[in-house]
A and B are shown apart, each in its own frame.
Chain A
Amino acid sequence: MLSVGLMMLTLLMLFTLLTPLLVPIDPLGISAVDKLLPPSLDHLLGTDELGRDQLSRLVVGSGISLRIAVAATALTAIFGIGLGMVSGQYPAIDIVVSQISDSLLIFPGVVLAIMILAALGPSELNVIIAVFVLYVPRVIRTVRAAVIEYRDADFVQAARSLGASDLRVLVLHIFPRAIGPTMVQLSLGFSSAILVEAGLSFLGLGAPPPAPTWGGMISGAREYIRTAPWLMIAPGAIITYAVLSLNLIGDGLRDMLDPRSRAAGQ
């Protein structure tokens, strides 16, 4: 499962990076004559209502999507792991961090993201912030739980009695025990980031037009679903593909790292 997911993700990245080298890409070029053309050799995925090349828009959109997801996941990883370790180790800090991160978990995901973007205004950076705020509590909780689990373990006490500092104990002795579940959370967070980004741009809260986003493309295609269904199918398919590949990676990691579910799967 893990290898299939990784392969699919690699293909998506190659598609994003290599397509501009193979076909002319012009996501913004408007042409009234060429509007709503079905797929052809000139326009492999057809054109939209303004005559813009769908394939170009899809490729550029996938760049935006991946960029946002990577940035949000990186932020989530850095702050989630850092805050999780600190709050697992120091009860005084834990009270503050856990209260804030738990109260963020109360909101249904997308609603919180909409609130944040409504407050900050639609832009690529703000989508990154919204996705980060949405997923950082999960990573904090995962890392914190591992720290609490191993805080009083014998091998941690042994390291402390050798004179190891808190930082050394956290980073070298405890955190490696948490890498597995943290990676699972991050990969699932990555796929959700793509989904949330698509959802937000569908609602017009993502990167503002004319930037081509997957969600924005679906949103624009709604009116032409009967006359030009390819407008909806291509971005829909690629979102499904991206999320599927990342969920396969997440599930694969979980199976690999959790001996219980590995035994159950066999």
Chain B
Amino acid sequence: MLFNSVEFAIFLPVVAVVYFILQSVSASRKPANIWLITASYFFYMYADIRYGLLLLAVTLVTYFSGYLLRYVVHESRMKKRLLVLTVILLTGTLFFFKYAGLLSKLIAGDDALSILLPVGISFYIFQSLTYVFEIYKGTMTPAGSFISYAAFSSFFPVLLSGPIERAPHLLPQFEEKHSFDYERIRHGLIRMAYGYFLKIVLASRLAIMVDLIYDNYMDATGYQLFIGTCLYSLQIFCDFASYSTIAIGTAEILGFSLTENFRQPFFADSCSDLWRRWHISLNSWFRDYVYIPLGGNRKGKGRKYLNILIVFTLSGMWHGADITFIIWGMLSGLFQIMEEGISGIRSHFPKWLKICITFLLFTFAVCFFRADDIGQAMTVIGKVFTDFRFASILTTSPFSLGLGVFHFMFLVAGLVILLIFDLVNERTGDAAGRIAACSTPVRWTIYFLLVLMILGSTSIGAQEFIYFKF
């Protein structure tokens, strides 16, 4: 089920109302958690009923693995083996669904197997793995009940595209009581509205421009492709951040606190800073469960750089079964290494220049993320560097890039609001909270402005979130 669908507009209020009723009539958390599990499986299986079986299998495997690690297996070598077995089982499942289709295509060509990729599989497998890892490390005890754990592993706001929650952070919240709290719900609704603004007002419009440029990349000038790729950087941010923001707002309405997934990434003044602000839940997952166990920065510079490359290559593989994602991941790692290599020179740059360079490096790498294949990416990059055609800056009307005057002006206005919102977030850390604290007339003006902008953009049509395919 899409967050930006009529179905969800009905689904969420029903889930929330029943959830609060169950919490108020029962002293036990059990009925409310059973309701959340039911709602989450409905949410997940709405697109394809088969998805639910895989989610259930992942839940069972990780729950019992955690149980065995804590209560049954005590010898450390056996624990390690059990952990490795669980990791192989889950990552193997992930690998199968992500890569079997590609491998089959490479081997069998047109007779390749058609394998359904369950949406969100990368997210909930990684989230469930945190449970096993943390129990193995001894930093948490297994869930109090299977019901709580199943509610955690299937929690619908984060199920399809994260944030990838850590078990020690989210799981205990399923054992707490969440009563109706007006302020919290209002805050959650503002966040959701902002998430819809990012998706419907910005990402959907940016997608039209980017798609038009990339669909005609052979005829486009280097300048147009450069603009198109920069816009794609913005699109992917708006698209993915919107999902995370709606997810966080949805969870907040129900009383849950989720991890922030984006922290104004385009204000980053270095690539490493950018990756600490972008898809935070995934990057910190890789940091804690791959980079640090590999030795992190404790084994010398050479090993550190190798570890960075490994982590970002894995991150690329996690994103998709295509060499373009692997190149994107490797480039992202490589830029951080290069940045460290010239840190002396960089320190003399003004901050704005560092921010611009970071954005351009990110955009360079993201070209591979957007391209259908390496050939397209290389053509785009080649044209930007060899066929820029400065004259096309003057001849390319912004209104000719798929959006008419009205929608283009709407987009520009939206981007200005995004900039203001992110500036406030950068300074205070909570723009939604600042809005909630405004005087009534200002607050309601902002509310109506957001609602009108969202409604005014609904005609563009509901589009899937980019990260669904991962």
Chains A and B come from one and the same complex: no
Interface residues of A (CB under 8 A from B): none
